[in-house]
Amino acid sequence: MRYLLLDRISELQPGSHAVGWKCVAASEDYFADHFPGFPVVPGVLMVEAMAQLAGRLITYSVRAEGGGTVLPVLLTIQNARFRRFVRPGDKLELRAELMGLVDGAGRCRCTAKVEGQPVASAELMLGYDNGQNSVIPEAARATLGAWAEQVNANLLAGVTIGEPGGKAS
Amino acid sequence: MPEANANVQEVMKIRELADRVLASRHDEIVNKVREAVAEVLGREESEVKANSSLMNDLNAESLDFLDLLFRLETTFGIKIPRGGIQRATQGSLTEAEFQQNGVLTLAALERLRVLMPEVPAAQLHDGLTAREIPALFTPETFARLVAWRIGELEAEKAAGR
């Protein structure tokens, strides 16, 4: 996936929080245009990275409540703040905290840091498909579900869900 | 019809919890809900009446309802658990007992009339479809939802003592 903006999830506590990171490579293609001679990570892509982590937190939180497999999608972005530039070589430390989970949606407070310094934050609401009033066609659901499982297994390799992460950033 | 009675009794509990809380806090809760609705929909509070249909009068979409639920949780310090609203509306009725090809059954309408006394009876008419339910939601509806959750919290606390 070209725009998978997570390299690793180091901790995932269903119903509570998730921690992960993205190592920003100098070879990221957007640096060619954003900006020539001054490469910085676009803020929207940091929001996307947060959303990808938040979505997984929501998926596993719903599953922990016995709600089956859901496919979260971004619905709202609130209070997004971009405090510092993030540059090639930076390690974007991401954290998503579950603020609430209702029928069909979860809300997360997300932060991104570099070397412990806050670089971005936002509150994201992600809706999820509960299979009943599905917005995603049934055939695509199965494909997407299988694909997500594969991606999640890679991201979470070596991590026990629900246990504190040892090497969390 | 013993089943129908059990059906109504089930929702009466929710109705009574909400009624008890609204008896003393109706205006306060409704006004906070109106404020939350105004924020979610980017409207002036004066445009949001206690009986405005969020969908028909204020152009709310399902996404706005989700946003509203989270705001109400924060504003009132309550939890609206996953499956909670469905447990209230559908309760122990099976899907087939609740709706037939999308059209609400008499048992479903009976429940909704108890749960949503703020909705004019004419709007909960025979032939109403499940998809039309959200169009009936007003700030009063969400105030009842909030009052139910507050009532449940208070009942839990009282039982814990």
What percentage of chain A exceeds 90 in pLDDT? 78
pLDDT tens, residue by residue, B15-52 = 999 999 999 999 999 999 999 999 999 999 999 999 99
Measured torsion, CA atoms of residues B90, B95, B99, B104, in degrees rounded to the nearest 10: 0
Sheet arrangement for strand A105-114:
A8-13, A17-23, A91-102, A105-114, A117-129, A71-82
Asked whether residue A167 carries a pLDDT value surpassing 60, the answer given is no
Question: Residue B4 above 60 pLDDT?
Answer: no
Q: Is A34 a catalytic residue?
A: yes
Average pLDDT, whole number, for chain A? 92
> Tokens in use for B4?
């129908």
Cβ-Cβ contacts under 8 Å, B69 against chain A: 102, 105
Distances (CA, A) of A102 to A67, A126, A141, B71, B80: 12, 11, 21, 11, 6
Chain A interface mutation, best of B76, B82, B133, highest count of A Cβ atoms under 10 Å: B82
Coil, helix or strand at residue B48: coil
SS3 B69: helix
A137: confidence class by pLDDT, cuts 50, 70, 90:
confident
Higher pLDDT, A1 or A5: A5
Query: How far is the alpha carbon of A75 from chain B, nearest alpha carbon, in Å?
Result: 7
Residue B95, Ramachandran bin (φ over 0: left; ψ between -120 and 50: alpha; else beta): alpha
Q: Give the minimum alpha-carbon distance from B82 to chain A in angstroms, rounded to a whole number.
A: 5
Check residue A142 and give its pLDDT: 86
Q: Do A103 and B82 touch (CB under 8 A)?
A: yes
Confirm if B105 and B134 have CB atoms less than 8 A apart: no
Q: What is the pTM of this model?
A: 0.86
Taking an 8 Å cut-off on Cβ atoms, the answer to whether B82 and A101 are in contact is yes
Give the span between the Cα atoms of A88 and A43, in whole angstroms.
14
Decide if pLDDT at A169 tops 70.
Answer: no
Q: Locate B147 and state its tokens.
A: 């009052």
Average pLDDT for A99-116: 95
Q: What is the model's pLDDT at position A129?
A: 78
| Residue A79 predicted with pLDDT over 50 | yes
Question: Which residue among A7, A16, A28, A34 is the active-site one?
Answer: A34
Please give the interface size between A and B, counted as residue pairs whose CB atoms are below 8 Å apart: 38
| A67 neighbourhood in chain B, CB within 8 Å | 82
Best residue of A76, A103, A108 to probe chain B, by most B CBs closer than 10 Å: A103
Identify residues of B whose CB sits under 8 angstroms from chain A CBs.
62-63, 66-67, 69-70, 73-74, 79-86
Instruction: Provide the pLDDT for residue A133.
Output: 58
Domains parsed from chain A with CATH numbers: 8-153 (3.10.129.10)
List of domains in chain B: 2-155 (1.10.1200.10)
In this prediction, residue A168 has a pLDDT band, given cuts at 50, 70 and 90, of very low
Query: Residue B10: is its pLDDT beyond 90?
Result: no
Q: How confident is the model at residue B3 (pLDDT cuts 50, 70, 90)?
A: low
**Out of A1-5, A75-79, B115-119, least confident range:** A1-5
The complex scores an ipTM of 0.79
Q: Tell me the pLDDT band of A138, cut-offs 50, 70 and 90.
A: confident
Q: Which residues of A touch B81 (CB under 8 A)?
A: 102
Nearest chain A residue to B73, by CA: A100
Kindly tell me if the per-residue pLDDT of B7 is higher than 90.
no
